[in-house]
Amino acid sequence: MPTVAERRQIFRELHESGCFALPNPWDIGSARYLQHLGFKALATSSAGFAFSRALPDNAVPRDMMLAHIREIVEATDLPVNADFENGFADEPEGVAENVRLCVATGVAGLSIEDSTGRSEPRLYDLSLAVERIQAARAAIADTGVVLVGRAECFLVGQPDIEAVIRRLTAYAEAGADCLYAPGLETREQISAVVAAVAPKPVNLLISGPGGFTMADAEMLGVRRVSVGGALARAAWGGFMRAARELAQHGTFGGLGDAARHGELQAFFQADAARRAS
C-alpha cells in the first residue's frame, strides 16, 4: 500500500492535467469496489455516510465524521478527499483545529464549505469565509494535503454566478488549491468559473444522468468530477423501490436488479485475500 505521503503526492499530480473522476463511497465495501474498478482517487460523501447512520446530511458529529474518514482512508490504497462540510466550526480557530484532526486521518485532500448550516445567514460573510480558508491553509501547513474551497451559493438558493466567482477567486487567493461550486448547470457557468480561477483546478459535481459526461467536463477545462451522495442515493433508490413493493403489494419484482450474491461473494473473497497477502 502506498504511504500517506505518496498518496498525497499522487493526488496533487492528478490535478495538474486532464480530468479524473472522483467517485464518493459511503462505507468500506463501496470504497473497495470503487478501487477495484480502477478509479484513481476517492472522496467521502457527508450525505452518503449520514444516511447510513440514520441521520440527515450535515447532522453527523465531528468525531463520528473523523472516524468515518479514517476508516475510508485505511480501507483503500487510493488518495481520499474528505468532504469535511464547513469544518465543524464557525470561527477560523475552530476550523484550523478541526482541519488538523482531519489531516491526521491520512487524507490526501479536504474541502471546506462556506455554508453555515443554518437558515440565516445561509452563507458566511465573505471576509469571514476567506479567514476560514486561510486558517485551513495554515493548519494543513506542509503536509501536502489538497485544500478545496467550496462556494455553496447554488445549493442554498442563491444561484448568482458572479457571487460564486467572487467567492471562489477570493478562496483561491486565500490558499485553496482547488475550487468547487456544486450546483453549476450550464457550460457557460462552468467555463466562467474555470477561467476565473485559472490556473487552479476546478471540481465539478455531476449527480444525475442526461447532463455532462467526463469528456464534456475535460473539454470545459474541469480537472476533477465528483458525484456527491449520488452513488449512495442510487443504492438507496433500489432498496426503497424493492422494499416499498414488498410492503405495499407483497411482491418481489424490485429484487430483480439486485447484485448477485455470488458476484459479491467472489469479489470480497478475492479482495480480502489480496489485502491479507
- Beta-carbon contacts of residue 111 (< 8 Å; ≥ 6 apart): 81, 82, 83, 84, 147, 148, 149, 150, 180
pLDDT in tens, 102-120: 999 999 999 999 999 999 9
Question: What confidence tier does 9 reach under pLDDT thresholds 50, 70, 90?
Answer: very high
In the predicted model, what is the mean pLDDT of residues 139-152?
A: 98
Question: What confidence tier does 27 reach under pLDDT thresholds 50, 70, 90?
Answer: very high
Same domain, 206 and 120: yes
State the chain's mean pLDDT as an integer: 97
CA distances from 235 to 25, 26, 52, 62, 242 (A): 11, 10, 11, 25, 11
pLDDT at 211: 84
Same domain, 166 and 104: yes
Same domain, 75 and 132: yes
Same domain, 122 and 110: yes
pLDDT at 210: 81
Q: Which helix (H) or strand (E) holds 178?
A: strand 178-180
Same domain, 101 and 157: yes
In the predicted model, what is the mean pLDDT of residues 210-227?
A: 96
Q: How far apart are CA 70 and CA 64, in angstroms?
A: 10
pLDDT at 247: 98
Q: How far apart are CA 10 and CA 80, in angstroms?
A: 11
Percent of the chain with pLDDT over 70: 100
Same domain, 97 and 67: yes
Grid cell in block for residue 240: 426503497
Angle at 264 between CA 258 and CA 266, to 5 degrees: 145
Dihedral angle computed from the Cα positions of residues 149, 155, 156 and 158, in that order, rounded to the nearest 10 degrees:
90
pLDDT in tens, 56-86: 999 999 999 999 999 999 999 999 999 999 9
Same domain, 151 and 250: no
Same domain, 137 and 114: yes
Q: How many domains does the chain divide into? A: 2
Same domain, 60 and 118: yes
Task: Give me the domain span that covers residue 243.
Answer: 230-277
Same domain, 96 and 167: yes
Q: Which helix (H) or strand (E) holds 113?
A: strand 109-113
Residue 118 belongs to domain with CATH number: 3.20.20.60
For residue 224, is pLDDT > 90? yes
pLDDT in tens, 161-218: 999 999 999 999 999 999 999 999 999 999 999 999 999 999 999 999 988 999 999 9
What do you get for the CA distance between the two ends of the chain, in Å? 11
Q: Which helix (H) or strand (E) holds 93?
A: helix 92-103
For residue 1, is pLDDT > 90? no
Same domain, 33 and 78: yes
pLDDT at 255: 97
Same domain, 154 and 240: no
